[in-house]
Amino acid sequence: MGVEPAVAEMPPPARGGRTLVSGLMRYAVAAVGPIAGAGAQFVLSLLLLHLLSPAAFGSFAFLLVTSIFSAGLWAGLFCAPLPVLLNQADEAVRDRAIRSLTTLSTLGSILVFAVFAVMGLALHVPLGGALLFGVYAAMFVLRWYARTYAYAHDRVVRVTVSDLVYSAILLGGVGALAAAGIASVEWCYGIMALSAALGLLPFGRTYVRALFAFDREAFANYRPIWREHSGWSLAGIVTTEATINAHVYIVTLIAGPAAYAPIAATALMIRPMGVAQNALGDFERPRMARQIGSARIGDAVRSVRFFRMVLVAAWVATCTAAVLLFVIDPHLVFPREYDRSVLAIGTALWLAVSGIRLVRTPESTLLQAAGAFRPLAHASMIACGFSVLAVLAMLFVVGPLWSIVGILIGEFVFALWTWREARRWRRKAGSAEPVETMGAPAPAGQAEDAA
């Protein structure tokens, strides 16, 4: 099928407002679960921020960021190739790919448990807490793969229910700990592990059984996936992590968890933006893959523009909330032992980082949906070098807090390079610039929405 002419892609003028509303409603359904989950994690982080020493909170924040990085590894190894394979391969290839990816995801979760248990012990977390965080990290990556699988099959409701179950258990457990005045990391990590495990149930018994159905040919069937998709995707994920979180590892390893604590505390202010970007990216990636697979490049480009419009609105709301907090009293959120000027500088720097990051996120999602992992990997590799060097320079010249500037520099380079690669891909795909449709994606009546 060729590219549809631009005039055929436009909804009737009278339906423009309705198209915009339907697009926002789809985003609302996709975002409500992740927002609830992030809200529960935010409450947990605030509780521990007030109850733990800076060093102990720094250890918790480091483990949490690293567990999110493990989800990034899962995205590169197993999740990112899934929608591409489902929309571009024949049925036999699809079945082999799904069995291989599911089996290796489950086996890999065992390794994740061991790595995080050892990491917790290295950070002086008690044995029980280290083991429970290992369980949480393993369940977290399994649920991450399950979410991608459901999104790829257009089962958005299952993802939302899973996120809400996870959020309700985590938030209820955190509330109980706060009411009882318990600041035990063992209890916190135990609640996190339970919430992630029960969050798998909404995907259904058939899917849960599939997670533990071992495919003997999994490694053999994975080799072509690795060569064509996962290898480049993983390289991009690792270097992207170095670009956006180099300060986490460098500051913690060189200056210690206590020096990282104020950086982690102020990073909580942009948590809503991270949630919006990840949740909407997970939702848009398979949708764009379906549009690209059916040669509707103009629809995919319009989805990119609508995606960015929503992210800009979320960023403006985040900035407004941060300004209001500092006008009233930042210590309504942050403990009083954190200096006000440190909090203000950290928050301002993180908002700048978040603003640059949202510029590249829609194009990055488009390239992933198209299976263009190699140019994305090149972009992140280049940005990674700038980010790591700048973080090291700022740490030694100015101090730990200003290491965030290094992340800002890396994000700026990443955004420029990603935009460049996205323009190249659009030219190669033969896409003409689509007519603007109020910034909204394709109408709800299009094929992928009817599924």
User: By the 8 A CB rule, do 100 and 260 touch?
Assistant: no
What DSSP string runs through 37-72?
HHHHHHHHHHHHHHHS-HHHHHHHHHHHHHHHHHHH
d(CA 22, CA 20): 6
d(CA 378, CA 417): 9
pLDDT at 180: 79
The ranges of the chain with pLDDT < 50 are 1-16, 431-451
Cα distances (angstroms) measured from residue 320 to each of 271, 324, 346, 378: 14, 6, 16, 35
pLDDT at 437: 32
184 phi and psi, to 5 degrees? -80, 125
279 phi and psi, to 5 degrees? -65, -45
pTM of structure: 0.64
Number of neighbouring beta carbons within 10 Å of residue 46: 17
d(CA 61, CA 339): 19
pLDDT at 15: 44
d(CA 49, CA 333): 9
pLDDT at 88: 58
d(CA 340, CA 332): 12
204: Cβ–Cβ under 8 A, 6 or more apart, which residues?
A: 158
pLDDT at 117: 94
